[in-house]
Amino acid sequence: MANIVRAIGDRSIRAYIDPERGTVSRELYVNDDIFAQELEQIYQRCWLLLGHESQIPNPGDFVVTRMGTEEVLMVRDRKDHKIRAFLNSCRHRGMKVCRYDEGNTLVFTCPYHAWTYDTKGKLVGVGFGNYANAYTDTLPTGSEEWGLVEVGQICNFYGSIWATWDPKAPSFQDYLGPFAESLRHCLQSSDGEDAGLEFFTPFQRHRIPTNWKVPGFTSVTDLTHTAMTHRSAQAAGLHEDRGTGKETAKPFPQEKYAIGDHNLGHGGMCTFYDQLGVPDYANEWFEPGVDDYFRAQTERKKLLIADRIMPPHGWGGGHFAIFPAVMVDSWRIRYYHPHETGITERWSLFGVDKNAPDHVKDAVRHYAERFNGPVGFFESDDMENWNYVFPASQGATARKYDYFYRNGLGHGKYDDRLPGVVVNGSYTEEAHRARFSRWLAFMEAKSWDDLYPLNKSANHNIWPGVDGQASAKA
């Protein structure tokens, strides 16, 4: 992998973050050169979410997804039924071999010169390949060398599909670290069955004119934004609840924190539970019969984990981010694909118990639609912020003034319940700072050998004051 870490003008990458002051330069959000380096240093190495296995249940099914700025085909092979992922670019002249969002196919035929690939990515045909002297000695059909570019590693994690371009990256389980159980929990159905979800298709997808880190690093785990951003929705009586007359849940001992793993970059607003089992179900849905379903599911889940404490997880327990830009809670996953320095594509996936009856699936889908996205009543507030942050930060004057990331700095502590994770007050910016620790580590690292967890002695935390300890220095 090419090492393109370089200074911008007379500043090193590290100089754009001032841990002692708790500030981050706006250049990180508006500078094209830094964006180009992020694509190489972060998006070529990190594990990235491709989608969910429920999108491609049948042999030959495919969806077009993304890894950073690039399109990727996620395909279930016709013969061995394994899921694979390939760059959507013909090896001959670079044309997209697939121009549909999803479908079922025998092969991907490039519309340019008919180079054709099977669902394992193998080149199985070229146009006019049988003519005298054409290709004959230079391109044996089926050549492994000229198949579609396959991802370096792929992982099916309880139904969610993740991939990295880097074959030397750590396993996805190790990449998640202590958040593996939290993600697993969020991918369970409401009765606690592993991989018990399916996701509504097509996903909500929209472009927003902002840098990917604006929503990707700060939208989740930013509890303070609700003070003003969602004030108007609350004034209109448009709450996050799913119905009128929501019951007040019985007390279930728990603690809410902003948490961040500075070595891994993951973290968010999470709830630590102090009691075994599952809270009692409290009615909350408009639609008849839905509460009955979820109450019965909750009773089953109680039996399943009666002797365990739930891992910190999503809805009701906050939500958390998987570095670099995936946001997870127990009913939705949102992720942010960079397109350009100031253009980001946002995808939202809404999960539902795959074995739920139709009236429950309908209710969940309706809730997702009215709550989320540009026409939802709640998230449109967020997008207004994201859309204006970028133009208001990229001017010659604006970019001289750093962003404030000092909220709660110096108050974080390590907690044995999630080893290696810094725990701080829920209205602090601990999770944001953790992402910048990891961001800088990736931007400076020559390879995964420099990065945790392959480098087990690494301390990527750049910020001072955790448990009274000094921060890591270059």
Residues near other proteins, by CB under 8 A:
105-107, 109, 114, 116, 118, 124-130, 141
Please report how close the Cβ of residue 81 comes to other proteins at its closest, in angstroms.
16
Give the CA distances from residue 349 to residues 50, 79, 160, 369, in Å, rounded to whole numbers and listed in that order: 11, 28, 11, 11
Q: Contact at 8 Å (CB) between 469 and 463?
A: no
Please report how close the Cβ of residue 417 comes to other proteins at its closest, in angstroms.
53
3-state secondary structure 401-451: CCEECCCCCCCCEECCCCCCCEEECCCCCHHHHHHHHHHHHHHHCCCHHHC
In 47-149 the beta strands, taken as DSSP E runs, fall at: 48-52, 61-67, 70-76, 83-87, 102-104, 107-109, 116-118, 123-125
Please report how close the Cβ of residue 96 comes to other proteins at its closest, in angstroms.
14
Nearer to other proteins, 145 or 307 (CB): 145
Nearer to other proteins, 43 or 86 (CB): 86
Rounded CA separation 202/300 (Å): 30
Please report how close the Cβ of residue 94 comes to other proteins at its closest, in angstroms.
19
Q: What share of the chain is helix, strand, coil (3-state, %, to 5)?
A: 25, 25, 50
Rounded CA separation 119/269 (Å): 40
Please report how close the Cβ of residue 127 comes to other proteins at its closest, in angstroms.
6
Please report how close the Cβ of residue 134 comes to other proteins at its closest, in angstroms.
11
Nearer to other proteins, 123 or 326 (CB): 123
Sign of torsion over alpha carbons 132, 138, 143, 146: negative
Nearer to other proteins, 78 or 399 (CB): 78
Please report how close the Cβ of residue 83 comes to other proteins at its closest, in angstroms.
20
Nearer to other proteins, 123 or 431 (CB): 123
Nearer to other proteins, 125 or 209 (CB): 125
Please report how close the Cβ of residue 105 comes to other proteins at its closest, in angstroms.
6
Nearer to other proteins, 135 or 414 (CB): 135
* Burial state string for 297-321 with b = 16 or more CB within 10 A and e = fewer than 16: bbeebbeeeeeeebbbbbeebbbbb
Please report how close the Cβ of residue 108 comes to other proteins at its closest, in angstroms.
9
In 192-342 the beta strands, taken as DSSP E runs, fall at: 197-199, 204-208, 254-260, 267-273, 318-322, 326-329, 332-340
- Identify the residue whose tokens are 């997702």: 368
Nearer to other proteins, 103 or 395 (CB): 103
Nearer to other proteins, 119 or 210 (CB): 119
Cα angle for residues 437, 186, 467 (degrees, 5° grid): 35
- 102: its two tokens: 């999803």
Nearer to other proteins, 115 or 172 (CB): 115
Nearer to other proteins, 2 or 128 (CB): 128
Cα angle for residues 19, 22, 27 (degrees, 5° grid): 85
Angle between helices 290-304 and 358-371 (to 10 degrees): 100
Q: Contact at 8 Å (CB) between 154 and 73?
A: no
- Residue 381 phi/psi, 5-degree rounding, is -60, -45
Please report how close the Cβ of residue 202 comes to other proteins at its closest, in angstroms.
23
Query: Residue 290 contacts by C-beta under 8 Å, 6 or more apart in sequence?
Result: 359, 360, 363
Rounded CA separation 410/433 (Å): 11
Please report how close the Cβ of residue 146 comes to other proteins at its closest, in angstroms.
14
Rounded CA separation 466/354 (Å): 42
